[in-house]
Structure 1
Amino acid sequence: MSIDEGYGPTWDSDDEYDNFIRKMNPPSIIIDNDSLVDATIVKVGSANEYGILLEVIQVLMDLNLVISKAYITSDGGWFMDVFNVTDKEGMKLKDKAAIAEIEGYIRKSLGADSRYMPAKRRSVGVAASTDHNVIELTGSDRPGLLSEVSAVLASLKCNVVSAEIWTHNTRVAAVMRVTDEDTMLAVTDTVRLEMIKERLSYLLRGNNLSRGAAMAEASGTSATNTERRLHQMMLSDGDTEEFHGHVPAQPQRPNVTVRNWKDKDYSVVTIRCKDRPKLLFDTVCTLTDLRYVVYHANIDASNNQAYQEFYVRHVNGSPMNTEAERLRVIQCLESAIERRVSEVTIHELIKGNFARIIFL
């Protein structure tokens, strides 16, 4: 911070200003375990800023909490989110020590020094940490692709530490963490990294030359949530575009509608679909990455069905003004809901020589 004569303090960056605002307005966390028989109420209030709702939902997701209901309001400079949560078995929280830990974790995660600060939410760049490389892949999906990618990396003496892979609408996106086979550290040889990029990009292109493929080496220290990054990659890759080939039929497609509430200058986004874990994260993540701000929301998940209603405006303050914009939001939300149907997570515990693969 510096002082300009006659004008008071000026800030060297938006990040420093955001840090100041958070320190002056620390989050308010209230956990009520008495009001409801079947759920624990988590109330979170803090200074309002773009993307804060997604941060709160991500923290609850990190804690393996299931959100059954939520009421969200963020008009003005302060937001208040109320969540009814349970554990994965659908039970309210009972352990007082665990509840205290949850409160502390949320407070720390949303505070001024948290990993969710805007400066740390930027997309990853071209770099590497000392312990692993992060490889991001997008391309055409096909049977056996995962085996082929693994074989290429093995031939280049790379060890896959972990990988998360999504497929949707004939496209695939993956975030893989790899190390050098011999040193178990990040690959630093630029020639070798270019060879990895060239061979994997060729492999992912497949027979669909018109769509192409992409690979990027990203920073191993980035705090961008892997699942959010996969949403961003698939959105950028165009998996929302209509495909006229063979796509497996969806047993129950999401019902997404958008209408404008002209009296209040809001666009109202309504989602009805089958409930599943992390659904709220996926929809709020998509709205955030499409540059919409959620001012109010009502969330209800019961009897295996989900109802979500969002009152949104674009970051420029306007509702959706064109039919094309409305249709794009609907299309992107439908894709975000469907992507996680095809999800692969791989973790390899190097010291124990053990691999764990989860197919969803």
Structure 2
Amino acid sequence: MHYWSPSLDVDHEFEKLVHRMHPPRVTVDHITDKKSTLIKVDSANKRGSLLEVVQVLTDLNLFIKRAYISSDGGWFMDVFHVIDQYGNKLSEDFNVADRIQQSLGPRGCSFRSLRGSVGVQYASENTTIELTGRDRPGLLSEVFAVLTDLKCNVVASEIWTHNSRMASIVYITDDETGLPIEDPDRLAKIKQLLLYVLKGDLDRRGAQTAVSVGSTHTQRRLHQLMYADRDYDTDEYDIVSEGTSSHKPVVTVENCVEKGYTVVNLRCTDRPKLLFDTVCTLTDMQYVVFHATIIAEGHEAFQEFYIRHTDGCPISSEAERQRVIHCLEAAVKRRVSKGLRLELCGEDRVGLLSDVTRIFRENGLSVTRAEVTTRGSTAVNAFYVIDASGDQVKSETIEAVRTAIGETVLKVNEDEMSTFSKSPRRQTGGFSLGNLFRNRSERFLYNLGLIRSCSEVA
């Protein structure tokens, strides 16, 4: 139950007054640094300001090479050294200042509205489905098969897997009208069948589904879903390796007693959107970043945060310290793409994703991450796949998938494929792991009444 608090309304009105009196100021400097563009942000401080600025830079596909952050007291002052996705300084006509000012202004997406919403990239033209549960081979195929059978067209989707957990946001429309699905009975049926698929036989931690008509910042919400699902935990049922120790992020957490802060240091392999991922996690854990230094030049990234809990206190126990370490490690790993990248580009149609993921499953491939988008009438999809048995993906498997899908629409990174193909081929008999997954999934969907049996088809 939610209780109205007069102090919250007063604080919110005061915050809006401060922003009207002192609007955010963003300056873009192309001269000082020869290799990067400096973006300086000065604004009245509010909770979530850092996340909003980093989110804008990330959405613009900008790489943050260095950053110096200070938000102690009532003022927020940041300096970001950024380059574009091609490694160049920004052109002078690149309008990043207005985007940041809008995000920090009264019309921006504040931290309060963000936590309770589902929404920024796909607005009210779609119905949003959120899924969390235990990952398993063939799960994605079953999810898309259910949606296809329920006459839902998948407009876009993003799927993350980590530590044997799966989180996904799927944007759908009615395949006949192209409009959002709003009928309560139909939405209830969609939720019920998807929840049945997610639970399967192994989900000891529970599965969740949610449906809404609205919009969300997809990757922001995925972080929230995986954090809420405690993907940072490990237990005896987790059988998926998280990689070697050489690629594991190094996180240290210590208290700075004389200043009243907790100092968090993170060192790991650099990659796009790393700062966004770590700031999301600290925000979700109810910590405020007062000062930070970010260096991401070369192959490694270093991040140092001076934080306090929202109640103003530093970390006070060993259990809390360990939790911060595990959650930041998870934040770094969630987006790391395990597996071979397959790009699918072709004419969009209802059931396309169901067919493609079924072909993956039939060939013994498991999807670890996926990005699904629709541009006009064209489907532009990327899947990261691994061999469901734990072996590396073989070139003959990819050729079989390509033949089934169509060579003209499936692209494979040839350099990456040559690396995957070097492992020795395992001898197999009549047993087919792909058939095992297919038969299990087909029996499962048959029990739901979503497909006919083989004898009926014949």
Give the TM-score normalised by structure 1. Answer: 0.90
Residue 204 (structure 2) pairs with residue 210 (structure 1): yes
Distance in 2, Cα, partners of 1:175 & 1:125: 10
* CA distance 1:310–1:155, change in 2 (3 Å): same
Q: Give the aligned residue type for 2:230.
A: G
Runs of 4+ in 1 over 3 A off after TM superposition: 10-17
* CA distance 1:47–1:239, change in 2 (3 Å): same
CA contact (8 A) 1:130 1:185 kept: no
Matched positions, count: 342
Q: Give the aligned residue type for 1:150.
A: F
Residue 247 (structure 2) pairs with residue 247 (structure 1): no
- CA drift at 1:153: 0.2
- CA drift at 1:16: 3.4
Distance in 1, Cα, partners of 2:296 & 2:250: 15
Among 180, 183, 195, the residue aligned to 2:177: 183
Among 294, 301, 324, the residue aligned to 1:299: 294
Distance in 1, Cα, partners of 2:55 & 2:147: 31
Distance in 2, Cα, partners of 1:120 & 1:17: 17
Distance in 2, Cα, partners of 1:26 & 1:180: 42
* Counterpart residue number, 2:406: none
Distance in 2, Cα, partners of 1:12 & 1:325: 31
- CA drift at 1:63: 1.6
* Counterpart residue number, 1:234: 226
- CA drift at 1:209: 3.8
Structure 2 matches for 1:1-360, cutoff 5 A? 12=9, 14-93=11-90, 95-98=91-94, 101-114=95-108, 116-124=109-117, 131-221=125-215, 224-244=216-236, 245-251=238-244, 252-342=247-337, 343-349=369-375, 351-352=376-377, 354-359=378-383
* CA distance 1:267–1:333, change in 2 (3 Å): same
- CA drift at 1:109: 2.4
- CA drift at 1:129: 7.2
Distance in 2, Cα, partners of 1:152 & 1:13: 47
User: Structure 2: 5+ residue runs without aligned partners?
Assistant: 1-6, 338-368, 385-458
Matched residue of 2:296: which SS? strand
The more displaced of 204-213 and 157-166 is 204-213
* CA distance 1:345–1:84, change in 2 (3 Å): same
Give the TM-score normalised by structure 2. Answer: 0.72
Distance in 1, Cα, partners of 2:167 & 2:118: 17
**CA deviation string 1:30-54 (max 9, x = no partner):** 1111111111111101001111100
Distance in 2, Cα, partners of 1:192 & 1:13: 41
Distance in 2, Cα, partners of 1:129 & 1:51: 22
Q: Give the aligned residue type for 2:241.
A: P
Matched residue of 1:242: which SS? coil
* Counterpart residue number, 2:340: none
- CA drift at 1:130: 5.2
* CA distance 1:150–1:27, change in 2 (3 Å): same
* Counterpart residue number, 2:447: none
Instruction: Flag the structure with higher strand content.
Output: 1
CA contact (8 A) 2:180 2:213 kept: no
CA contact (8 A) 1:129 1:186 kept: no
